[in-house]
Structure 1
Amino acid sequence: MALNQLFDLTGQTAIVTGGGSGLGRVMALALAEAGANVVICSRRKEICEEVVKEIETLGGQALALALDVTDPESVVQGVEKVVSQFGKIEILVNNCGTVFEAPAAEMPLEQWQSMLNTNVTGTFLMCQAVGKHMINSEYGKIINISSSIGFKGTDPEAVDSVGYTTSKGAVMTLTKDLAVKWGRHGVNVNSIAPGVFTTGMNNPEIPGTLVNKAGDFIAAQVPVRRLGRDSDLAGAVLYFASTASDYCTGQILVIDGGLGAK
């Protein structure tokens, strides 16, 4: 197979949850540029529609879909709508997530449950609903977005959210377990674990966000001496979404500028 064909997604359908902003938008645009039809999901359909316009400007095809990953009925209905319109789903990117920072001794139970419900249960519900169709068609690429901080404890000066780190660790284990269970059905399940990127929840221009509060502190710890950029993630999602990764499943790809190597 020619090298350019390895990453060609022409005619395939991809769902990106939380695709209306931040890293989700970056990945949605990358998939569209590779030729995929991209369905962008969020509880806020209006922000998804803005990304749809961007994709259509590039000459691609996209659909904005209101979907709540924590609601099983919303998930099933959304997935069925995608299948009805495009026939099948080859790619799923589980990017939807939430974070709330507070010292572990003071973390409100409501916020803990919200992070676990969105980041873990929401990811599972999407995998389950889309996975059924992928198993039937004997092909699929699932990409769960975890986080480099899900591997271990974190310095509270950098990230002080025990619920977030716990949930992202769980996403990694979910990824590995589904990879083992579904590999025989032609479904690859992998995870991208970003470090700190200057986008989305970490927008440095928004007061109170992680990078706004501790960007210089974090960047100084990163071996490449900077935070992540949009372009640093595009190649990774294309690799896991394409035939280039057909023999790769159950893996966690860390993109953190080398921070985890220290």
Structure 2
Amino acid sequence: MANHRLNQIQNHLVSLDIDPTRVDGHVIIITGAARGIGRSAAILLAQKGAKVAINDLDSIKAQETAQEIRKLGGIAEAFPGNMLDETFPAELVAGVLTKWGKINCLINNAGFCHDSAIHKMDDARFDVIMKIHNYAPFRLLRALSPHWMDPSVRDMPKCIINVSSTSGLHGAMGQINYATAKAGIVGLTKTVAAEWGRYNVRANAVAYGWIDTRITQPPTESKVLSLDGQEIKVGIPMNAKKWRDVSDIPLSRPGTADEAARVMLFLASPLSSYVSGTCVECTGGRFM
């Protein structure tokens, strides 16, 4: 019955000449949206009609991304802030609700690596990765709960897209903290899908493989993340030869941020209206 109804809806959209990838009027929060996959997703979703809340630790870059979207004719507002701050997730949700009155989609994209071999990993390095990849998404969801559980928005489209990684699905040398956190986000996603389906909320994750962004390029002295007075080098070293070897990627190349963003569009749009509780792998075929 569900598939039959979905086919009816899709056929109706086609008959009306409506693009099922459109998200017109949807309010979408994207964390870590000033660079890489988050930035590409923000631009793409705005082009598809969304009002995009651009969150990033880097206030200048967040403003630049919002301005770029507006120059292209889209609607976007920068909401810079540190997702590691315990109070900021609730402030972000409140700010977006004040601005636009609703939230349709949350994309938990903010994150970084802080790698080390297991025997050299200290508690602080492990803890910060758990906080950005697990605690921050949880706090945003908790802040959203009064809005999304309100019976008046029962039929409003609502979805969550959480960013995982092949490190979380398959493990990765030197990434005991990151792999643990990215595995955790899959469990979080499935729990939300099970618990909030009654409120018409869909929850899905995307496990990315090698996507060519700042986080996967070789680290340099100029590419650092300044966080609470600590400088964290961003990137994966060139000597990670096994990871950089494309011979086990059937498409024989890394993906681009724009390609990664299209998976988010699929999960945010009516195209995936009956998809929930799953983890989509965007890997070029690696690990299949």
Give TM-score, length-normalised by structure 2.
0.84
Mean alpha-carbon deviation: is it higher for 171-180 or for 60-69? 60-69
Q: Tell me: CA distance 1:197–1:59, structure 2 relative to 1, closer, same or farther (3 Å).
A: same
- Render the CA deviation track for 1:187-246: whole Å, top value 9, x for unaligned: 101011110111131135847721644478332321211111123223211111112212
Mean alpha-carbon deviation: is it higher for 231-240 or for 92-101? 231-240
Determine helix, strand or coil for the equivalent of 1:123: helix
Describe how 1:1-262 pairs up with structure 2 within 5 A: 1-3=12-14, 4-136=18-150, 137-138=153-154, 139=156, 140-154=158-172, 156=173, 160-204=174-218, 206=220, 209-210=235-236, 212-214=238-240, 217-261=244-288
Structure 1 position 149, deviation (Å)? 1.6
Mean alpha-carbon deviation: is it higher for 200-209 or for 13-22? 200-209
Q: Tell me: CA distance 1:212–1:30, structure 2 relative to 1, closer, same or farther (3 Å).
A: farther
Gaps of 5+ in 2: 1-11, 222-233
Aligned AA (2:58): R
Gaps of 5+ in 1: none
Q: Tell me: CA distance 1:211–1:54, structure 2 relative to 1, closer, same or farther (3 Å).
A: farther
Determine helix, strand or coil for the equivalent of 1:150: helix
Structure 1 position 44, deviation (Å)? 2.1
Among all aligned residue pairs of Structure 1 and Structure 2, give the percentage whose two residues are the same amino acid. Answer: 28
Question: Is 1:135–1:187's contact at 8 Å kept on the other side of the alignment?
Answer: no
Aligned AA (1:37): K
Question: Is 2:37–2:258's contact at 8 Å kept on the other side of the alignment?
Answer: no
Question: Is 1:201–1:209's contact at 8 Å kept on the other side of the alignment?
Answer: yes
Aligned AA (1:210): I
After TM superposition, the runs of 4+ consecutive aligned structure 1 residues lying more than 6 A away are: none
Aligned mates of 1:126, 1:39 — CA distance in 2? 14
Aligned mates of 1:45, 1:213 — CA distance in 2? 33
Count residues in correspondence: 257
Taking only aligned residues, the RMSD between alpha carbons, in angstroms, comes to 1.8
For the pair shown, the structure with the greater C-alpha radius of gyration is: 2
Mean alpha-carbon deviation: is it higher for 224-233 or for 69-78? 69-78
- Render the CA deviation track for 1:3-28: whole Å, top value 9, x for unaligned: 54321111111100000111111111
Question: Is 1:70–1:125's contact at 8 Å kept on the other side of the alignment?
Answer: no
